[in-house]
Amino acid sequence: MAANMAAMANIGAQNCSSPNPTDPHRGQTDFYVQLVLSLALGISAFTGFCILRPKWKSLYAARKKEIDAASELPELPDTMFGWMPVLYRVTEQQVLASAGLDAYVFLAFFKMSIKLFGIIFVLTCAILVPINKHFDRVWTPGNNTEPDPPDAMLLLQGGYDPWKVNWDLAAMAEDGELIPETGYLWAYTVFTYFFTGLAIYFITKETGRIIKIRQDYLGSQSTITDRTIKLSGIPRELRSEAKIKEFLEKLEIGKVESVTLCRDWRRLDGLMERRTHTLRRLEEAWVKHLGQSKARENGNSHESHPESHEDNDETENREEDNLLGENHVTTYENERPTTRIWYGFLNLQSKKIDAIDHYQEELRKLDAIIIAARKKKYEPTPLAFVTMDSIPACQMAVQAVLDPKPMQLKAQLAPAPSDIVWVNTYLPRSSRMLRSWIVTIFILLLTLFWLIPVAGLAGLLNLCTIRQVWKGLADTLESHRVLSALVSTGLPTLVVSLLNVAVPFLYDYLANMQGMISQGDVELSVISKNFFFTFFNVFLVFTVFGTASKFWPILQQSLRDTTVIAFKLAESVNALGDFYINYVLLQSVGLLPFRLLEFGSVSLHPILLMTSNTPRDHAELARPPIFSYGFYLPSALLVWILCMVYSILPAGWMVLMVGLIYFVFGYYTYKYQLLYAMDHPQHATGKAWPMICYRLLLGLGVFQLVMAGVIALKHAFYPGALVLPLIPLTIWYSYYFGRTYEPLTRFIALRSIRRESDAAVNIADEFVGIHRPPGNERRQSTTLDEARERGLKFINPSLIVPLDKLWLDKKPDSSGDTPVFDREESAASSVSLGDTHIWRDNGEENV
């Protein structure tokens, strides 16, 4: 038996002749190098934010300036760090009132994680760290202990049966040749149960709290969305507003207030899109004609140029002639711009013409066509938005089965009117399904493609792998510890982090191509897709398969023996503890301050400013950046899973410590952005919470699988086997969660709905001293949803939106503040002159 052990060790030595620089026992240099890099990045970004924040309020206080719901938030001081205590004191009620349910749920996940891992961190440091230090090798910087037993090394290299190796070692223990210490592993089993129960307790408790808040919030408001259902699968014989109304009222659910039957508005939407493009081209042509200096003069009072008053009058008279006639004589800074048009057979002939006249004429024709197109009747589709007279009627409709035929007359909650993607409402269901399948298949192919860069990065973690490819580089890294740490730890963590930043943009595009009806559904899809990439490619592939050369052999072994994945996952998790510590450290200390800085917006602003020519372009620059949960939530979920997976292992206290830092920094970073800097126009009403919970339960399953493998690999089969029942119990809880809690995160309970008359009852109760239980009072103030849905209707904007007029007002002044104009008010205050409009500014007329 001893000969077999020696042979196995010799094979391992031949395969890897140099130590692994990411061994958790040799991670001192790697950790300190990563800490220095992260602090350098984080401190510089945070300092830059603190300096720029009071000077660039159009970016860092954009939401506070532009969104009415944020106006009630406390003002942040302009001092370097004075904003921090004010932000800290912003309550959850203020978050709910200002940013809505989606922001509240997102921040609640971070707050729950802080509480959970705070408790686990204390227990780990108090109990598990001493146990690991006495019986196992606990991870500490510079702790150079002996490597794991040979079976672990051979398993990492693949090609050996884990059960055979362990049974051989067990037989050796019986023969007295090897006596492993396994009694302490019962503590691993106990804490696996305890941490699983603690996590489920926090998930359940937070779910109950969110349900209560959500039911009270939605039940005490009254918006058109709360009273509207999306009716799909409408048969041809019912495709008219009158028949749909008659059908629903016969069910005696409630009265129908209005019906919007979606029709094939493809041509009208195309005309509106073409008109928007033409209008922008016309505005660009006018700005080019006016010239930069003349455009600025047009935004200022003529009193600063009294000597040119007569010339200005003459110029305006001549320009009026130009707009109405053929004379193009002008005193503007630049000549009138031209554009090339194509005509003739197959558009093979072209000529240059006056751009302003061309776009004005095209705009005039489009306006006439659009006005006529709005009066036409279009082919109805199987989709309609039905507004009921009350919220209870709407909720009863969506929680009932309306028709005995499958996929026919399905009632679902309608998205907010501003959230609907109208171009997808007239897409056939078969087309949406086809798009969904194509995107799904494409994502699966992308998943295989990501194996190449991810496996390459995993190869950098092992000096032996680098030696196989480039022996000279491996020798250099082996002789320079700092350089080795930069290549083997700093570079992979940075590239993986950059992948987590870049890939969501691709998946966001793919989600938008699936043809979903609302932007809220698109965002939930982005969360799902990005988490799949993060969890599968960054965690499972990176951890289980290591490099591309090991992918196929391990996959073949796992098909023959399902336990291979568990053992491989357990061994790799132990070996990659140092990498994931540095990864979470970079995410928390190094990169979260860059999110606060809004580095992307800051770096792109000069480019966007240079390419923005018209007042409309400049006004769009002043809009708050869009906050997308699909870009930020998957990374936080991965950090949560890593904290759970490593909580009991020797490296657990370090992973938990940097994980706590991540969730604390992330909570206040995103709290600032959601309240003051960025806008979230989607209307998901907190529906991301069940998605979060299911992925946390998936993480618990991985945690239990890893712990079972870790304990079994240390030859303690009974403690390891006792962990396995936790996996089916977690699966059962996920089904229990879906049946018990998820419906309350989707619907409004009828008992939670307060009618308008309840408000008067509550006031009377307060007057006579009656105190109702908490949550039974109707909110007296207007909610965020009520404010932003005031006056909205479920009508395609192409049918009713006012046609935008030419926008040639002043550009940003020297202070950098961009004036934002209400387009309808501007149109009402303009004087029509042909197809161009003169905007009034300080009593003067400017073209």
Would the pLDDT of 686 be above 90?
A: no
Total number of domains in the chain:
3
Distance CA 282, CA 139 (A): 66
pLDDT in tens, 97-107: 888 899 999 99
Determine the residue type at 382: P
Question: Does residue 478 sit in the same domain as residue 625?
Answer: yes
Query: Is 276 among the domain residues?
Result: yes
How would residue 631 be classed by pLDDT, with cut points 50, 70 and 90?
A: very high
Q: What pLDDT is stored for residue 13 in this prediction? A: 37
Query: Is 757 among the domain residues?
Result: no
Token digits of residue 696: 């946390």
439: number of Cβ within 10 Å: 20
Query: Is 109 among the domain residues?
Result: yes
* CATH for 390: 3.30.70.330
Question: Does residue 26 sit in the same domain as residue 49?
Answer: yes
764: number of Cβ within 10 Å: 10
Which of residues 699, 722, 741 is at a domain's end? 741
Would the pLDDT of 307 be above 80?
A: no
Higher-scoring residue by pLDDT: 129, 829 = 129
How would residue 675 be classed by pLDDT, with cut points 50, 70 and 90?
A: very high
Distance CA 417, CA 258 (A): 14
Would the pLDDT of 323 be above 50?
A: no
Q: What pLDDT is stored for residue 672 in this prediction? A: 95
Question: Does residue 284 sit in the same domain as residue 371?
Answer: yes
Higher-scoring residue by pLDDT: 492, 773 = 492
Would the pLDDT of 148 be above 60?
A: no
How would residue 554 be classed by pLDDT, with cut points 50, 70 and 90?
A: low
Higher-scoring residue by pLDDT: 336, 463 = 336
Q: What pLDDT is stored for residue 467 in this prediction? A: 65
Query: Is 423 among the domain residues?
Result: no
Specify whether the CB–CB gap between 278 and 363 falls below 8 A: yes
- Choice among 174-183, 564-573, 815-824 with the minimum mean pLDDT: 815-824
Q: What pLDDT is stored for residue 773 in this prediction? A: 40
Question: Does residue 688 sit in the same domain as residue 637?
Answer: yes
Question: Does residue 64 sit in the same domain as residue 119?
Answer: yes
Which of residues 389, 414, 439 is at a domain's end? 414
Higher-scoring residue by pLDDT: 790, 191 = 191
Question: Does residue 274 sit in the same domain as residue 397?
Answer: no
How would residue 409 be classed by pLDDT, with cut points 50, 70 and 90?
A: very high
Q: Across the chain, what does the average pLDDT equal?
A: 77
The DSSP call for residue 679 is B
Which of the given ranges, 143-157, 298-312, 540-554, 768-782, has the highest pLDDT on average?
Answer: 540-554
Average pLDDT over residues 407-429: 91
Query: Is 493 among the domain residues?
Result: yes
Higher-scoring residue by pLDDT: 173, 80 = 80
Contacts of 509 (CB under 8 A, 6+ apart): none
Average pLDDT over residues 308-334: 42
Question: Does residue 145 sit in the same domain as residue 234?
Answer: no
Question: Does residue 328 sit in the same domain as residue 403?
Answer: no
pTM listed for this prediction: 0.80
Specify whether the CB–CB gap between 706 and 645 falls below 8 A: yes
Q: What pLDDT is stored for residue 263 in this prediction? A: 94
Q: In degrees rounded to 5, what are phi and psi of residue 839?
A: -90, 135
How would residue 489 be classed by pLDDT, with cut points 50, 70 and 90?
A: low
Q: What pLDDT is stored for residue 474 in this prediction? A: 65
Distance CA 220, CA 216 (A): 6
Higher-scoring residue by pLDDT: 600, 761 = 600
Average pLDDT over residues 549-553: 54
Using a CB cutoff of 8 Å and minimum separation of 24, what contacts does 720-724 make? 720/185, 720/189, 722/189, 723/189, 723/192, 723/193
- Choice among 242-251, 410-419, 831-840 with the minimum mean pLDDT: 831-840
* Per-residue exposure over 697-735, b if at least 16 CB sit within 10 Å of its own CB, e if not: bbbbbbbbbbbbbbbbbbbbeebbebbeebbebbeebbe
Query: Is 550 among the domain residues?
Result: yes
Higher-scoring residue by pLDDT: 546, 777 = 546
Question: Does residue 370 sit in the same domain as residue 443?
Answer: no
How would residue 309 be classed by pLDDT, with cut points 50, 70 and 90?
A: very low
Which of the given ranges, 138-147, 323-332, 447-456, 557-566, has the highest pLDDT on average?
Answer: 447-456
Q: What pLDDT is stored for residue 130 in this prediction? A: 92
pLDDT in tens, 247-277: 999 998 889 999 999 999 999 999 999 999 9
Question: Does residue 660 sit in the same domain as residue 720?
Answer: yes
Would the pLDDT of 66 be above 60?
A: yes
- Choice among 403-412, 652-661, 742-751, 835-844 with the minimum mean pLDDT: 835-844
Q: What pLDDT is stored for residue 497 in this prediction? A: 82
How would residue 138 be classed by pLDDT, with cut points 50, 70 and 90?
A: very low
Q: In degrees rounded to 5, what are phi and psi of residue 177?
A: -80, -25
Token digits of residue 778: 């109707």
Question: Does residue 249 sit in the same domain as residue 334?
Answer: no
Which of residues 741, 760, 778 is at a domain's end? 741
Distances in Å between the Cα of 295 and the Cα atoms of 360, 596, 838 are 19, 35, 13
How would residue 840 be classed by pLDDT, with cut points 50, 70 and 90?
A: very low
Would the pLDDT of 134 be above 70?
A: yes
Would the pLDDT of 17 be above 70?
A: no
Query: Is 785 among the domain residues?
Result: no
Question: Does residue 184 sit in the same domain as residue 279?
Answer: no
Specify whether the CB–CB gap between 381 and 425 falls below 8 A: yes
Query: Is 772 among the domain residues?
Result: no
Domain that holds residue 148: 2-217+428-741
Determine the residue type at 383: L
Average pLDDT over residues 335-362: 88
